[in-house]
Amino acid sequence: MSAALPTVSREIQLASRPLGRPAQENFRIAESGVPELQDGQVLVRNQFMSVDPYMRGRMNDAKSYSAPFRLDAALDGGAAGEVIASRSDAHKVGDVVVHQLGWREYAVVDAAAATPVPAGLAPTSAFLGALGMTGLTAYAGLLKVAEFKAGDVVFVSGAAGAVGSMVGQIAKAMGASRVIGSAGSPDKVARLLDLGFDAAFNYNDAPVLEQLQAAAGEAGIDVYFDNVGGEHLEAALSVLNAGGRVAMCGAISQYNSTEPAAAPRNLAVAIGKQLTLRGFLVGGQRQHAAEFAAKMAVWLRDGTVRYDETIVDGLENAPQAFMDLLDGANTGKMLVRL
Ligand code: NAP
């Protein structure tokens, strides 16, 4: 290894576990040594890291679908950056890769755990969003999990966020008869209409049920893509047509809760309406990644799908970016530029 390579990297560690809303005191910035590269590894200088709602669950010391973050150790998650040293034939110096060791400046990554970012298709950041995990979540959740078909009326919550904004636009591209979105501010509602949603409402303005009924009218809804849970899910169950499908993607309204959810109270309507509610994880949808990537590349190129990013600068600001994401400060994908 050349002497010019970094030996120390700044990282964000979990200092304590939050009860309810996370706070700055739950995080600390620290320095740690960069381990020497072994055969089959690459050293990556991270350029972007992703902050994602699921990371809130990993701050708890509770079994969930991904392992809890360890106390006094660096957090991890999606990141993209440039290979600055390589002991692998798979990636050479100068390549840009996506990997799972975010929340730090430099990462020693097993070559097999790094995915190359194709040159020229889109800016690097897009591979953590529209062309990455976020986009695949939207694509597979809508088409494979909810079994969307042309002519369906689709409702998506968290619609101005990273996943939600993709869901609405993919539904339109694939022939939805109507797409309805909900979000938490007037600016976000305006953005949804600009992105081609047929109707959008601010869930803070009035009860979700009332606004969803007004937006759906007589047609009702056929598919609900749930990013929020709680009151949103309850309202959607009421408005879904017979045979309707729900892709249960997330329940962000409950991630900081210390009490069990109060809604939905009407789950039994699923019986009479013969609804399908299916939870899913993007990790279980990787078999659709190539199909998704090919379609999304075309949609981005021809302008069918557009994506927003909210970018925060500086590793030291990553904890605040994460907390702001949970509070809805982002439009589109929330990223930290290192
Ligand atoms: P995101 O939507 O870009 O960001 C989170 C958004 O949630 C915020 O911008 C905020 O927007 C909204 N929000 C926060 N608290 C809320 C509340 N109490 N009620 C309603 N909305 C609230 O994040 P994302 O990465 O695209 O994730 C969206 C959802 O998908 C999350 O639930 C996440 O856990 C889930 N997800 C699941 C998978 C999977 O494999 N199943 C993969 C990726 C993401 P507003 O301003 O509109 O409130």
CATH number at residue 77: 3.90.180.10
22-55 per-position pLDDT tens digit = 999 999 999 999 999 999 999 999 999 999 999 9
Closest CA to 107 of 52, 32, 27: 32
Share of the chain above pLDDT 90, in %: 97
Quick one: 68 and 209 in the same domain? no
208-229 per-position pLDDT tens digit = 999 999 999 999 999 999 999 9
Strands 96-99 and 79-86 come out as: antiparallel
Residue 240 CA to ligand 1 center (angstroms) comes to 21
| Nearest alpha carbon, ligand 1 atom 19 | 253
| Nearest alpha carbon, ligand 1 atom 48 | 184
285: Cα separation from own chain's centroid? 14
The answer to the question of residue 290 being in a domain is: no
Q: Where are the beta strands (DSSP E) in the chain?
A: 8-14, 27-33, 41-50, 79-86, 96-99, 106-110, 115-116, 153-156, 178-183, 199-202, 221-226, 240-248, 276-279, 309-313, 333-337
What's the whole-model pTM score? Answer: 0.98
Q: What is the pLDDT of residue 66?
A: 85
Is residue 228 within 6 Å of ligand 1 at its C-beta? yes
Hey, which residues does 96 pair with through a beta bridge? 82
Residue 309 CA to ligand 1 center (angstroms) comes to 14
pLDDT band at 64 (very low <50, low <70, confident <90, very high): confident
Is residue 163 within 6 Å of ligand 1 at its C-beta? yes
Residue 250 CA to ligand 1 center (angstroms) comes to 7
Is 2's pLDDT higher than 60?
Answer: no
Q: What is the pLDDT of residue 1?
A: 46
Domain limits for position 319: 8-129+308-337
136-187 per-position pLDDT tens digit = 999 999 999 999 999 999 999 999 999 999 999 999 999 999 999 999 999 9
pLDDT band at 293 (very low <50, low <70, confident <90, very high): very high
Mean pLDDT for the stretch of residues 180-207: 98
Quick one: 165 and 51 in the same domain? no
Closest CA to 76 of 86, 84, 91, 66: 66
Quick one: 224 and 181 in the same domain? yes
Q: What is the pLDDT of residue 53?
A: 98
**How large is the greatest C-alpha to C-alpha distance in the chain, in angstroms?**
69
Is residue 162 within 6 Å of ligand 1 at its C-beta? yes
d(CA 42, CA 25): 32
| Nearest alpha carbon, ligand 1 atom 15 | 253
Is 335's pLDDT higher than 70?
Answer: yes
Residue 203 CA to ligand 1 center (angstroms) comes to 14
Quick one: 269 and 159 in the same domain? yes
Domains in the chain, number: 2
Burial tier of 33 (Cβ tally within 10 Å: 0-12, 13-18, 19+)? exposed
The answer to the question of residue 242 being in a domain is: yes
Quick one: 35 and 53 in the same domain? yes
Amino acid at position 299, single letter: W
71-92 per-position pLDDT tens digit = 999 999 999 999 999 999 999 9
Is residue 247 within 6 Å of ligand 1 at its C-beta? no
| Nearest alpha carbon, ligand 1 atom 13 | 328
The answer to the question of residue 298 being in a domain is: no
Average pLDDT, the chain: 97
Residue 162 CA to ligand 1 center (angstroms) comes to 8
Quick one: 174 and 208 in the same domain? yes
Q: What is the pLDDT of residue 3?
A: 55
Residue 43 CA to ligand 1 center (angstroms) comes to 31
